[in-house]
A and B are shown apart, each in its own frame.
Chain A
Amino acid sequence: MEQFALTHAWLIPLVPAAAFAIIGLFLQNFHKLSAAIAILAITFGFVMSLGIAGAVFNLGITVDAPFVQRIEWIKIAGLQFDMGVIIDPLSVLMLLVVTLVSLLVQIYSVGYMKGDKGFGRFFSYMSLFSASMLGLNISINFVQMYVFWELVGLCSYLLIGFYYYRIPAREAAKKAFITTRIGDFGLLIGILLLQMLFGTVDFIQLRQVIPVYLMANGAGVLTIIGILLFMGPIGKSGQFPLHVWLPDAMEGPAPVSALIHAATMVVAGVYLVARAYFLFASLPILMNIIAWIGAFTAFFGASIAFSQHAIKRILAYSTISQLGYMMLALGVGSLTASMFHLMTHAFFKSLLFLCAGAVMHAVNEEADIFKMGGLRRKMPVVFVTMTIGVLAISGLPPFSGFFSKDAILAAAAHVSMPLYLIGIVTAFMTAFYMARLLFLVFFGESRQKEVHKVSRFMQLPLIVLAALAVVSGLGGYVYNFGDWVRFGPPVVEHMDWLLASTSTLLSLLAFVLAWNIYGSKRWSSDIIAKKLGIIYTITFNKYYIDEFYALLCRIFIDGIGKIMYFIDLYIIDGTVNAVSALVLLFSKLLSKFQTGQVQRYAAVFVCGVVILLLCTIMYLDKVNGVLAAGGAF
């Protein structure tokens, strides 16, 4: 079984892809069947991933000695690309996380999407997404990764705009596609440059040639390539300054936010850096950039999440912030901590999104947390699971976030104090805004009279994810995650108790603070907002970055576009039309001679004859001479 799973790993993306084709082409109107096929396909993927995990464990496949399969995709003179499968602990972790979360989210969706006209379409897109994401996870080279990278982008686009009849949804979809495209522009150039420099984009081969190249040529060119490559993750993983699409992406259905915009697709950027860590880790300047962008994004996202009102937007900014943590971990050299957090975050953040979806479903799609309250008695399962999620993300022991966040903070503390400080302040803020959300939604007096019930399909995944959010951190710690998912030698996790207790205390403090403001309402949140004044306004308006980008777009896209069109219409085409007008004018002038009057023609004819005769007489001698010469021949 394990051997079969290992050698047939390519089936993992292929089966959901087939499910997409079947549902998309034939089963759009058969709701139950389409959901069944989609869920079956991803279950197959999960079982296969488990088998592969067993194989990796038993056969001792490590990051240093991955299992690789490949087939030729393109071969022309001077260029060859393969498609293939790379199996090592890194990709197995991704496979497990993606298939599991995808499976749970799709089960949840059966309840959540019930009665929607696009039910079949939804499951076909979900299958396509799963296929693309899994294909990305097992990519053996940059081009294969780029292919699937773009495909998950397409799915994200399709699913954000799932409610295509809503204008905000379609605008958000467009924004997501174009913003990530800007990142992909850099990524593509980076890939092309790698191909040019090394003649290959294969991870295994690059891993061997890059150290040699660095020894000979230094890091200059490679650093530039690295920065270009990193633009892709900046766009995809919602890092500053290309984060603007992710909050808007919440226009999609809640399961989409949970799966794509929290647990899986947005971590593709983190995964890309991790997969190509042999390149990134050897470029100190770039590592610094990654760490600082990550740390800044973590703080920045949290600071906006502070003041937002819409429940999913808060979670979206929180996702941005947590992705920043993962980048920070990568930047300070701890691939292990980053991937550890990627895993725990996938569980607790998708849990939070699914809970948010259940809450919104229950209260007639109300999104504003200030208009909710007292839901803890009416929806106990959601309340309990969401509380677990909040505790996990806030990093309280023994929940999963505690272990993974602590690993990141410890790694940052080893490298740079400022980075560590940013990290810990962000941790405090995270605990605060998550507690704010929890207290406002579930505590206080009830504002909704009618609350819709949460179906079983929706409850089961919540419970499973909550369980994972509890145990995944501890499990990773106990079973030494760093033995498997690592770069370089195995990492032994040492709990730094000083750091851990500091952050735990800060989180607790944040909870107390939030309880006083939003739970017991001892301190009024409005007054605090007023006291914060301009700071509150700025974060509430997300630093006006969206407005700034809109302005840039108006100037540099529409403005220049209009100028170019003016040039085209009036200068280039103007010249063309002017030439044709000139020709017409000239022909009109000439046509003046064609009057049709016989007398005038006769007069011109006579004049002509006279002129010719005169010429002949004047040059008679010469003409004779010519004729004589002709006769001589």
Chain B
Amino acid sequence: MDFPLLTIILVIPLLAVGLLMFIPPSSFKSVKVVAATAMCISLGLTIYAYVTYDSSIGGMQFTQSIPWISDLGVSYSVGVDGISLPMLFLTNVIGLAAVFSSWNINVRPKEFFILLLILITGVMGTFVACDLFIFLLCYELVVIPIYIMVIIWGSTKRVTKEYAGMKLTIYLLMGSAFMLVGVVALYLQAFPAELRTFDIAALSNAHLYGTLSQSFQIIVFFLLLLGFGTLLSMFPFHTWSPDGYAGAPTAVSMIHAGVLKKIGGYGLIRLGLLILPAGAKFWAPLIIILGLANVIYAAYIAIVQKDLKYVVGYSSVSHMGYVLLGFAALNTISLTGAVANMVAHGIMSALFFAVIGYVYEKTHMRSVDQLRGIAHQMPRISVGFMLAGMSSVGLPGLIGFIPEYTIFLGLFKVYPFLAMLAVSGIVFTAIYILRVLQKVLFGPRDYGLDKYKDAKGAELVPLFLLGTVLVLFGLFPQLLMGVINSGVAPLGPFLQELNNVPSLLVTLGGIW
């Protein structure tokens, strides 16, 4: 590929950051326009990539590779395949929505948008990186802006924003510390000294050469699981997520729940499963159990929450459980579902946080007990709520249904009884979502809220953008599933071979 499309997509937000440096902090409007323009271009190019990606060939496309630190085997190499392309698309959609949902920020907007753009670049970087070093670099790039954004622009409710920011950051750093140890061990073990490389494709072949023994894979995968699992809010490392989202400003909640968490799932597939297949297979039963805990335990907690952000926070923990289940069932159907569910959940949770952000910004309330009947005053926001809620419930015709269905199907093939438990999640989800929708949106008119206006102008962009994606991918799921399939289907034989690799259960059975 001669035209460095992905690099340009990555560079545009950074160029905007550069431009923002020269804009006086007082001109709020131009700051926002620059950020929005950058994200529009970036999204446009991503859509171009999405449309022109050739699903019939599959594999890494739009690749570019420049050696960087050749002594260590580091190179700047990027590319997307059927797994990372939807994630890149997701990042751009949510990035643009996040910019517009922050349109009313008037406290240090220049700094805010600079940090936001850096954050978005970092997340995009992790998805397009074909080099483990670049992946880690981008990942670390993400953590810092989040911390600053939470403690400056965040909000204090049940926990203070300082606590939330700190908790979020420490959890992410702890996770990445485990990950780093795993990655370094992998780097040293995979190839002899003169051949060492961070190239993900090369590392993915290492297990074929037998340099990665089974026990090595089991240990390193466990480290990665700790890292990525924390990021994905896997039980019991999930408590940062509701608190963090509650404290964070809207844009951070959107990006964090929408895409950042997905790095966890993405990493488990790209690095965990593909590089360390025996490790993934070994720990799969544990991941299934923890995923089930996510689905049911977090849904139960969401039922008794009062603060809207906590409801969505726990809801997102619950939905990420499906991703874990889809991952750990280790077949092509469930993996496709897991990736699709990351996209689906990203869009719906971003929409959720956007509308909650609007309501909170206007009324300074977000408790189920305080808000009632906002459909009277804010019909457009209510439509956003309904769309997000209904796709969360897994209503067919919206984005949430097909991913869940495929995950269930994949899971049924492996663990039919546990799968039934997982399906029960659809009932719990309906309970907590509908309780919230009923109380907040409907009911008698609260005249005290009459002074607050419905969303309008720039605020409508996130609703429209995310809503369109929800409906489009819901009605025509093949648009999403086709691309993901081109990334997952080739793994079929690879996953087939894994059937013979022992898992935790076998080992435990042996001890028994």
Contact = CB atoms under 8 A, between A and B. Distances in A.
B413 interface: yes
Contact of A561 (B301, B395, B405, B488): B301
A560 interface: yes
B468 to A, nearest CB: 12
A76 B420 contact: no
B46 interface: no
A613 interface: no
Interface stretch (A51-59, A161-169, A428-436): A161-169
Interface stretch (A175-183, A444-452, A602-610): A175-183
B481 A74 contact: yes
A165 B442 contact: yes
Contacts of A561: 300-301, 303-304
Interface string A43-73: 0000000000000000000000000000011
Contacts of A173: 438, 442
Interface stretch (A144-152, A268-276, A306-314, A324-332): A144-152
Interface stretch (B260-268, B429-437, B449-457): B429-437
A560 B297 CA distance: 10
B303 to A, nearest CB: 4
Interface string A469-483: 000000000000000
B333 interface: yes
Contacts of A188: 405, 408, 423, 426
Nearest to A147: B396
A624 to B, nearest CB: 36
Contacts of A181: 426-427, 430
B402 interface: yes
A154 interface: yes
A165 B390 contact: no
Nearest to A167: B443
Interface in B325-364: 331-333, 336
A171 interface: yes
A523 interface: no
B294 interface: no
| Main SS at interface, chain A | helix
B438 A170 contact: yes
A195 interface: yes
B206 interface: no
B445 interface: yes
A196 B413 contact: yes
B397 A177 contact: no
B296 to A, nearest CB: 9
A78 B370 CA distance: 48
A16 to B, nearest CB: 14
A568 interface: yes
Nearest to B331: A78
Contacts of A573: 239, 243
Interface in A156-213: 161, 164-167, 169-171, 173-174, 177-178, 181-182, 184-185, 188-189, 192-193, 195-196
A573 B416 CA distance: 32
B472 interface: no
A150 B394 CA distance: 9
Interface in B271-285: none
Contact of A185 (B300, B397, B427): B427
Contacts of A558: 303-304
B111 to A, nearest CB: 28
A185 B426 contact: yes
A301 to B, nearest CB: 25
A535 interface: no
Contacts of B401: 147, 150
Given A165-B445, A177-B430, A185-B426, A564 B396 contact: no
Given A72-B478, A76-B333, A192 B438 contact: no
B441 A189 contact: no
A370 interface: no
B212 to A, nearest CB: 27
Nearest to A151: B397
Contacts of A164: 373, 375, 441-443
A531 interface: no
Contacts of A169: 442
B485 interface: yes
B173 to A, nearest CB: 13
A177 B477 CA distance: 24
A76 B336 contact: yes
Contacts of B443: 164-165, 167, 170
Contacts of B430: 177-178, 181
Contact of B297 (A75, A76, A78, A564): A564
A77 B492 contact: yes
A77 B236 CA distance: 33
A161 B382 CA distance: 14
B236 A79 contact: no
Interface in A65-124: 72-79
A185 B478 contact: no
A184 B394 CA distance: 12
B332 A76 contact: yes
Nearest to A132: B397
A174 B438 contact: yes
Interface in A544-576: 557-558, 560-562, 564-565, 568, 572-573, 576
Contacts of B167: 576
Interface in B395-425: 395-397, 401-402, 405-406, 408-409, 412-413, 416, 419-420, 423-424
A55 to B, nearest CB: 28
Contacts of A195: 409
Contact of B427 (A78, A146, A182, A576): A182
Contact of B489 (A76, A147, A165, A167): A76
Contact of A196 (B236, B409, B442): B409
B482 interface: yes
Contact of B376 (A78, A150, A165, A185): A165
Given A76-B336, A165-B376, A558-B303, A177 B481 contact: no
Contacts of A192: 405, 408-409, 412, 419, 423
B444 interface: yes
A572 to B, nearest CB: 5
Nearest to A564: B300
Nearest to A560: B300
A77 B489 contact: yes
Nearest to A184: B426
B434 A174 contact: yes
A167 B444 contact: yes
B317 to A, nearest CB: 10
A123 B283 CA distance: 53
Contacts of B424: 185
Nearest to B166: A580
A557 B239 contact: no
Contact of A151 (B396, B412, B481): B396
A166 B435 CA distance: 15
Nearest to B425: A185
The residue among A147, A188, A192 with the most chain B CB atoms within 10 A of its own CB is A192
Nearest to A171: B438
B431 A77 contact: no
A531 B242 CA distance: 58
Interface of A: 72-79, 143, 146-148, 150-151, 154, 161, 164-167, 169-171, 173-174, 177-178, 181-182, 184-185, 188-189, 192-193, 195-196, 557-558, 560-562, 564-565, 568, 572-573, 576, 580
Interface of B: 167, 170, 236, 239, 243, 297, 300-301, 303-305, 331-333, 336, 373, 375-376, 390, 395-397, 401-402, 405-406, 408-409, 412-413, 416, 419-420, 423-424, 426-427, 430-431, 434-435, 438, 441-445, 477-478, 481-482, 484-485, 488-489, 492
5 contacts: A76-B336, A76-B481, A79-B406, A165-B443, A558-B304
Given A78-B332, A174-B438, A564-B297, 12 more contacts: A77-B336, A164-B375, A165-B376, A173-B442, A178-B430, A178-B434, A189-B423, A193-B412, A195-B409, A561-B301, A565-B300, A568-B297
